[in-house]
Structure 1
Amino acid sequence: MKAAVIILLVALFNGQLCAQPGKLGPATKRYFGLHFDFHAGSNDSLIGRNLSESGLDSLLTAVKPDFIQIDCKGHPGVSSYPSKVGTATVAPNIAKDPLAFYRAVTRKHGVGLYLHYSGVFDDAALAKHPGWAAVKADGTLNTSKTSVHGPYADSLLIPQLNELADYGADGVWVDGECWATVPDYSPTALAKFRAETGIQSVPRLTKDAGYGAFNEFARQSFTQYIGHYVDAVHRHKPTFRIASNWAYSSMMPEPITTNVDFLSGDLTPGNSVNSAALEGRVMAAQGQLYSKPWDLMSWSFWYEFSPVQRQGDQKSAVHLMQEAAEIIALGGGFQAYYQQSRDASLPRRELPVMADLSRFVRARQPFCEGSTPVPQIAVLYANTTVRAFNQSLFGNGQTHRVSGILSALLDAQLPVEVLSEHHLRGRLNQYPVIVVSQQDSLDPAFRQELLNYARQGGHLMLIGARTTRSFAAELGVAPMDEKATTPRSVLHKGASIVLTGPFQPVRITGPNTTPIGNFLQSEAGGPVPGVIATETQFDKGKLTAIYADLSRDYEKHQSAKLRDFIASLAKPLLTNPVVEVSGSHLVHVVLNRQRDRLAVNLINTGGRHADPQVFTYDEVPPLTNLTVRIRVDKKPKRIIQQPENRSLPVRYDKGVATVTVPELALHSVLVVE
C-alpha cells in the first residue's frame, strides 16, 4: 500500500453472487479481472493522449476478463479524469477523458468497469483544505490523512463517487481506507469522544488512562464513515458497487455492519502464496457469513515496501497461477495488478501472461465458484486480540500469531479455516478441532464458550506462552516463573527440534494432565526437566497445550521437524477426517461443498515463493502419485480430477474412498460424484 504502485482491485466473486438475484448484470459479474492504476500526480500532463481503442480491443479479446479496474484518483489526490466537482484537484491538460473512453470500449465487450479511488489518503485535498485533516496528538495537522469527522466525505468523496456512477461505471474500489485511518485529535473528534464516552481528559499517549477507549472510538468512527458514504452513494445510484480496501479483512476482522457491496484487498507482493492462504480464509469466512462476494488481488510484480523500496521482475504466469489457486480454491474471485501508464493507457507487454492466467482461472471456475468449506479445523483469529495489540487502528500486524501455525497445518495436508469470534459463536461444535494460537486477549464470555465446547467433547489446541498461562487452571498446570526467551531444543518422537520461544515454564498439577516431549541440554545433548506440551482430559473433550510461541518460528523457517511436531499433536484430534492426503508435504488441501458435491482442492505449493531472495520463478515441478482418502457414506459413482477431466480409479472400503492422483501440476479439484 504505497502511492504510485499500490492497489488493487475488486476481483470477485464466488457463488455467493447467487444469493443476490437481480443485483448483477452480465457486465458486472466479477470472478476474474485486471487492475491498472498509476496514482496520477500534478505533473501528469499527457493523460489520454495515447488511448487506443484497437489496443484495448486486443487486450480484452485476448484476456476476456469479467472486468477491468482503472485509475481515477490515487493517494496524491489528483483526479486523472476531468472531474466537475468543485473541490477536486484535476491533473493538468487532460487530452482525452479516460473514463469515458474505457466505459465505451468495455461496454462494447460486455466487460465491467471499476475504478480505483483513494479515500482517507488524499494529499491534494489537504493541501487545499487543511481544515479537513486529521489532527495529531501533538496538535499538528496530518498532511496526508483526512479526518473521518470532517467535511471531506460530503464535500469531495461522495460528490466524486456520484460523478463516477454517472459515468456509467459499475463500481469503485476505495483505497487508502482502514489501513490509512489514524487517531484524530481534531476539535470535532474530541467533542464527540467526550460526549460518547464521558471521558473528559483526552488520552494522548499509550500509557494514558482511556487510551484504549480513544482508539475504539476512532475505529467506530471509521466504520460510521464507511456507512455514511456508502449509503449516500447508493441513494444516488443503488446499483453502483462499493468496496473499501481491506475493510472487514485480517486488518479489521469484525462483524460487517455497513452496506459495502463486496470485500477486497491486495496481497503482499512477496510470499503471496502463503499470504493468499491466510487472507483468503479470513475473507471467505466473512463472505460466507454475510453473503458478501469477495476477492483478492495479486501484484503482478515483486515489490518491497521497507526498509528501502525495491522493485523486482514481473511475475511469470506460473507464479501468478499459484497465487490465484490459493484464492479460487476458497471460493473467492481473483485479480492481478499491472501498472497503468502515466498517460492512462494500459500496457500490453504482459498480455501473454494475462491470457495464460485467464485460461488457468477460467478452467477452474466451474469447480470452485460458489464453494463453501466443510468444517474440520478452525484456527481462531480473535478480533479482541487484534484490537488489543495492534499499534495502528487497523492493520495486519497481529497475523503473525496465526500465520505460521496455519502454514504448518496446511503443509501437513490438513483442511483449515481461519475464523473470528463472530464466525464461531453458536457453532463451535461443528469443528472437531479449534486451534487457539497466541490469542492473548479473549473476551471472557467467548473464552467460556471455548471451554464449554471442550467439555462437550470438542478438541481445543492451545499454543503460546501467554495463551497457555491464561488457561493454566483448566490445563492442570502451574506457571513457574516468567516466560523464557532463550532458544531451546526439544525431543519428540525421536526427533530433535529447535524452538526459539518465548516459553512458559510450568509444572503439572492436575491428575488428568499428561506431559508430551522432553527438553534437551542442546540439540545433541541429553534430556533435562521441563514441560513442552501437555494433553489434558477435560470432561468429554481434550485440551492440548504447547507452552511456546511457535507461529513466527514456522513463518520464518518452515522447519520440517516443527511442521511434524505441530501435526503430530493436531492430527490425532481430528479422529474422523473427511480427507487425508499423502505423498508430498508440498500440497495444500481445501475441502469444499460445491453444488451439493464434495470438492477436494489440491494445490502444489512447490517453488520458491517464500524466499525473499527470489523475486519470481517460472517453474513448479509437478507432484506425482498422491494418495487421497475421502470419507463418504457410500462408494462414489466416480471421482474426477478437474479441470483435467481425468476419471480416477476408486477403491472403497469401510466408508473410505481412496484414489491415486498420478500428477498434480499446480491446482486440481477432485470432484466426488
Structure 2
Amino acid sequence: MKAFLAIFFALSSFHALAQSNVNPAKSASKRYFGLHFDFHAVVEDSLIGRNLSEKSLDSLLTAVKPDFIQIDCKGHPGVSSYPSKVATATVAPHIVKDPLAFYRAVTRKHGVDLYLHYSGVYDDAVLARHPNWAVQKADGTIDKSKTSVYGPYADSLLIPQLNELANYGADGVWVDGECWATVLDYSPTALAKFRAETGIKTVPRSEKDADYREFMDFARRSFTQYIGHYTDVVHRHRPTFRIASNWAYSSMMPEPIKTNVDFLSGDLTPSNSVNSAALEGRVMAAQGQLYRKPWDLMSWSFWYEFNPVQRQGDQKTAVHLMQEAAEIISLGGGFQAYYQQRRDASIGLRELPVMTKLAEFVRARQPFCEGSTPIPQIAVLYTNSTVNAFNKGLFGNGQTQRISGVLTALLDAQLPVEVLSEQHLQGRLNQYPVIVVSQQDSLNPAFRQELLDYTRQGGHLLLIGVQTTSSFATELGVATTDALAKGPKWVLHKGASVVLTGPFQPVRVGGKNTKALDQFLKSETGDLVKGVIATETSFGKGQITAVYADLSRDYEKHQSTKLRDFISSLTRSLLPKPLVEVTGSHLVHVVLNRQHNRLAVNLINTGGRHADPQVFTYDEVPPLANLTVRLRTATKPKRIVQQPENKVLSIRYEGGIASVTVPELGVHSVLVVE
C-alpha cells in the first residue's frame, strides 16, 4: 500500500489545520445514528403528554438502539410543547404531562442522548405578542413569522429557553428555521447598524439599487454574528450542551465556519433524496473535515410533496432509506431519520420494523465508515462567491443546480468525487489530479489565479458552462463569435449523438495550444455542421478542457446515459491513472476513503426509482452482480474484504493493479484493503 502512503501523509497536514477547535468532551457525545421526531405544537393542542408511555418508548429504544433521539420542544408556530418557565414563551395551554422530563428520564435509563427540535428565527407566536421583534420588510410592513436578528429575540427568548433545555439535562439542540428562514431586514436597528458598519447612507430597497449586494453581505454577516452570540452565551451557561443550526455551513451557506456550533446538520429533500444526500453529504463532509466538526444528515422517512393544493406523501420502505443512509455514512457522516411525532407528543410504533431494519443496516457498516476521510481524486468546485452573487435570498441551495447534474453524472460514471469550496482547496489544489468548475460564474480573482497556477504547475481543469468558459477565454485561446445560442443541439461524441439543451456560447479557436473536441450535428441523424462544443488547451505543465455549454441541468432533468458518458469521458481523459476503477454497472456510486489508516472503497447500489417524481417509494433494489474493482497499489494487498459481509475476495495483481470481483452488491458494501 505504499502508493497510498504519500497521499495519507499529504492529508495529515489538512486534518491538523483545526485541531485546536476540537473539544474532547463534546466530541465524545454520540451522534452516529439517531431518530428525529417533531410535531410543531400549536395552541389548539390539548392532549400533550396524555399518552406518553414508558413501556412504548422502552420498546422503541430497545429495538432500535439509537445513539440519540430528537424530539419537539418548539416548532415554527412558536408554541412550546413543554411547560417553559421563560416569561416571553408561548406555551401550549393544555399540557397534561411534561414531555421533556419524560423523554429525558427514559432516554437516560437507556444511555441514549436527548436532543430537542427548536425553531429559531421562524417563530409566529412571539411576533404575535411582540411585533416590534419582527423583521421589517422593504415596504415598511412587518413579517409575521421571521424574527429580527438585530432585535431582542435572541436574548429575551431564544437564549433563556436554550438554557432552560440544558437545565432539563438535554444533551443538545437542533435549531431549525434559521439560515433558510432569514431574510433582509429594514428595521431601524438593522439600518442604523448597516450605515455605521459600511458608511453607506442610502439603503438599497431592491436588487436594482446600488449597494444591494453590500446590503445582502451585511445581512449574512449579521446572521453569522447572531449564531455566534447565542451559541457562546449558552455554552457559558452549560459548556457541554451541543448546538447545531440547521443547514448552517451547508450548501445553503458554504462559508468558512467562524462560530462555535458543535456539529453540522440538515434535513434532505423528501424526494430524490439519494442524489440529494450525495451532494449535501459531500458539502458537509468537507466542512466537517476542515473544521473538525461532527456532521450528520437527516432523511425524511416519508416521501412528501410540498403542494399547497393537494399535499401527498407515503412512508418510505427500509431499503429506500438504506440507500439514502449509504450515501451519507460512506462519506464519514452520521445519519438520522425523521418520523412524525403525534400531536400528544408521543411516538407511535407503527414504523418500528422499518426503524429496526434501518438501524441494523447502519450499525453493520459503522466500523467501516465512521471516521472516514476522502482520498483526493476529483474535486467539483462550489464557490461561496458564486453562491452569494446569484442567490436571490440570503441563504439557500438554489445554486446547487450549477453542479448537481454534473456531480451526479460523474458519480454515475463510478468516479470518486468531492464537492469543495474555496476554503477547502486553498493551499492544497495540487492534491487533486482534476478540478471541475461547472458554472461557477463569479470566481474571486485571487482564487481564479490560484486555479491557473495549479494548472500551470501540472493540474487539470475541466471548465463547464457558458459564463465560466467566457471568463477563461484568454487562457483557453478562444474568442466568442456570436450571441448565446439556444438548444437543443446534437453533438457527435465517440460515434454517438448526444443531445444538449444549452445554452451554448459559439467560439472560434485561435490559440496554437488549443484544439477542438467533438462536433455539432445538424440533427440527431444529420450531417456535421460548423461549431465548437469543447476544446482542449495545454497550459503550462497542465491542461484545461472546456465545454461551451451549460450541462448540469440537462443531466439533472434527463440523466441521459450519453450525456453521462460525454461528461465522464472528458473527465477521465484528465485522470489517466485513477486510484480506483469500477466496471460492471453504471448503477454504482464509488467513494474512496482512508479509514483507520486503511483504504476503504465504498460501493453503493443506486438502482431503484429514487429520482422519479412519479414514484413515492419502492421496496426493492435489485442486487448487482460481478462488479470488477481495480486498485492502483505499489504492492499486492494482503487481503481485500467485502464488509459487512466479511467476504474475502480473490486478488489478481499485475502491473501495479490489484483487481477483485465483487460477486454481489446489495445496497452498500465497503471493500477494506489490508
What's the counterpart of residue 668 of structure 2?
667
What does residue range 447-596 of structure 1 map to in structure 2 within 5 Å?
447-596=448-597
How far apart are 1:374 and its partner, in Å? Answer: 0.1
Query: How big is each residue's C-alpha offset from its partner over 1:314-361, in whole Å with a ceiling of 9 and x where there is no partner?
Result: 000000000000000000000000000000000110000000000000
What's the counterpart of residue 179 of structure 1?
180
Query: How big is each residue's C-alpha offset from its partner over 1:201-258, in whole Å with a ceiling of 9 and x where there is no partner?
Result: 0000110000000000000000000000000000000000000000000000000000
What does residue range 194-343 of structure 1 map to in structure 2 within 5 Å?
194-306=195-307, 308=309, 310-343=311-344
What's the counterpart of residue 653 of structure 1?
654
Query: How big is each residue's C-alpha offset from its partner over 1:133-174, in whole Å with a ceiling of 9 and x where there is no partner?
Result: 000000000000000000000000000000000000000000
TM-score (norm. length: structure 2): 0.97
Secondary structure class of the residue paired with 1:325: helix
* 1:197 counterpart letter in structure 2: T
How far apart are 1:179 and its partner, in Å? Answer: 0.3
Do the aligned residues in 2 keep the contact of 1:490 with 1:520 (CA within 8 Å)? yes
How far apart are 1:305 and its partner, in Å? Answer: 1.6
Answering whether residue 124 of structure 2 is matched by residue 123 of structure 1, we say yes
How far apart are 1:22 and its partner, in Å? Answer: 3.8
What does residue range 19-34 of structure 1 map to in structure 2 within 5 Å?
20=22, 22-24=24-26, 28-34=29-35
Percent identity between matched residues is 79
Taking the aligned partners of 2:139 and 2:21, their CA distance within structure 1 comes to 48
Query: How many residue pairs were aligned?
Result: 659
What's the counterpart of residue 439 of structure 1?
440
Answering whether residue 72 of structure 2 is matched by residue 94 of structure 1, we say no
Q: Which range moves more in the overlay, 259-268 or 648-657?
A: 648-657
What does residue range 13-52 of structure 1 map to in structure 2 within 5 Å?
20=22, 22-24=24-26, 28-52=29-53
What's the counterpart of residue 8 of structure 1?
none
Answering whether residue 351 of structure 2 is matched by residue 350 of structure 1, we say yes
* 2:190 counterpart letter in structure 1: A
Do the aligned residues in 1 keep the contact of 2:149 with 2:226 (CA within 8 Å)? yes
Answering whether residue 382 of structure 2 is matched by residue 381 of structure 1, we say yes
Q: Check 1:269–1:442 CA distance in 2 against 1; reply closer, same or farther (3 A cut).
A: same
Answering whether residue 626 of structure 2 is matched by residue 629 of structure 1, we say no
Q: Check 1:186–1:371 CA distance in 2 against 1; reply closer, same or farther (3 A cut).
A: same
Query: How big is each residue's C-alpha offset from its partner over 1:361-416, in whole Å with a ceiling of 9 and x where there is no partner?
Result: 00000000000000000000011000000011000000000000000000000000
Q: 5+ unaligned residues in a row in structure 1: which ranges? A: 1-13
Taking the aligned partners of 1:337 and 1:447, their CA distance within structure 2 comes to 40
Do the aligned residues in 2 keep the contact of 1:318 with 1:620 (CA within 8 Å)? yes
Secondary structure class of the residue paired with 2:637: coil
What's the counterpart of residue 401 of structure 2?
400
Give the RMSD, CA atoms, in angstroms: 1.4
What's the counterpart of residue 608 of structure 1?
609
Taking the aligned partners of 2:320 and 2:19, their CA distance within structure 1 comes to 28
How far apart are 1:482 and its partner, in Å? Answer: 2.0
Q: Check 1:242–1:496 CA distance in 2 against 1; reply closer, same or farther (3 A cut).
A: same
How far apart are 1:93 and its partner, in Å? Answer: 1.4
Taking the aligned partners of 1:228 and 1:133, their CA distance within structure 2 comes to 18
How far apart are 1:308 and its partner, in Å? Answer: 4.3
How far apart are 1:480 and its partner, in Å? Answer: 1.2
Do the aligned residues in 2 keep the contact of 1:78 with 1:90 (CA within 8 Å)? yes
Do the aligned residues in 2 keep the contact of 1:582 with 1:628 (CA within 8 Å)? yes
* 1:636 counterpart letter in structure 2: P
Taking the aligned partners of 1:222 and 1:263, their CA distance within structure 2 comes to 16
Q: 5+ unaligned residues in a row in structure 2: which ranges? A: 1-14
Do the aligned residues in 1 keep the contact of 2:296 with 2:336 (CA within 8 Å)? yes
Taking the aligned partners of 2:600 and 2:394, their CA distance within structure 1 comes to 38
Taking the aligned partners of 2:470 and 2:480, their CA distance within structure 1 comes to 7
* 1:432 counterpart letter in structure 2: P
Answering whether residue 144 of structure 2 is matched by residue 134 of structure 1, we say no
Do the aligned residues in 2 keep the contact of 1:17 with 1:293 (CA within 8 Å)? no
Taking the aligned partners of 2:486 and 2:193, their CA distance within structure 1 comes to 43
What does residue range 56-75 of structure 1 map to in structure 2 within 5 Å?
56-75=57-76
How far apart are 1:655 and its partner, in Å? Answer: 1.2
Query: How big is each residue's C-alpha offset from its partner over 1:466-490, in whole Å with a ceiling of 9 and x where there is no partner?
Result: 1101111100100112211221111
How far apart are 1:310 and its partner, in Å? Answer: 2.2
Do the aligned residues in 1 keep the contact of 2:26 with 2:262 (CA within 8 Å)? no
Q: Check 1:308–1:404 CA distance in 2 against 1; reply closer, same or farther (3 A cut).
A: farther
What's the counterpart of residue 11 of structure 2?
none
Q: Check 1:191–1:21 CA distance in 2 against 1; reply closer, same or farther (3 A cut).
A: closer
Query: How big is each residue's C-alpha offset from its partner over 1:522-576, in whole Å with a ceiling of 9 and x where there is no partner?
Result: 1111010000000001110000000000000000000000000011110111121
How far apart are 1:18 and its partner, in Å? Answer: 13
How far apart are 1:633 and its partner, in Å? Answer: 1.6
Secondary structure class of the residue paired with 2:619: coil
TM-score (norm. length: structure 1): 0.97
Do the aligned residues in 1 keep the contact of 2:26 with 2:242 (CA within 8 Å)? no
* 2:124 counterpart letter in structure 1: D
Q: Check 1:113–1:424 CA distance in 2 against 1; reply closer, same or farther (3 A cut).
A: same
What's the counterpart of residue 3 of structure 2?
none
Query: How big is each residue's C-alpha offset from its partner over 1:57-114, in whole Å with a ceiling of 9 and x where there is no partner?
Result: 0000000000000000000000000000000000011000000000000000000000
How far apart are 1:311 and its partner, in Å? Answer: 2.5
Taking the aligned partners of 1:665 and 1:546, their CA distance within structure 2 comes to 36
Do the aligned residues in 2 keep the contact of 1:586 with 1:606 (CA within 8 Å)? yes
Secondary structure class of the residue paired with 2:47: coil
Taking the aligned partners of 2:105 and 2:19, their CA distance within structure 1 comes to 25
Taking the aligned partners of 1:312 and 1:203, their CA distance within structure 2 comes to 42
Answering whether residue 434 of structure 2 is matched by residue 424 of structure 1, we say no
* 2:362 counterpart letter in structure 1: V
Do the aligned residues in 2 keep the contact of 1:303 with 1:309 (CA within 8 Å)? no
Taking the aligned partners of 1:383 and 1:164, their CA distance within structure 2 comes to 34
Query: How big is each residue's C-alpha offset from its partner over 1:26-58, in whole Å with a ceiling of 9 and x where there is no partner?
Result: 7x3110000000000010010000000000000
Q: Check 1:306–1:438 CA distance in 2 against 1; reply closer, same or farther (3 A cut).
A: farther
Taking the aligned partners of 1:300 and 1:347, their CA distance within structure 2 comes to 14
What does residue range 7-18 of structure 1 map to in structure 2 within 5 Å?
none
Do the aligned residues in 2 keep the contact of 1:329 with 1:590 (CA within 8 Å)? yes
Secondary structure class of the residue paired with 1:322: helix
What's the counterpart of residue 157 of structure 1?
158
What's the counterpart of residue 6 of structure 2?
none
Taking the aligned partners of 2:378 and 2:312, their CA distance within structure 1 comes to 37
* 1:669 counterpart letter in structure 2: V
* 1:466 counterpart letter in structure 2: Q
* 2:585 counterpart letter in structure 1: S
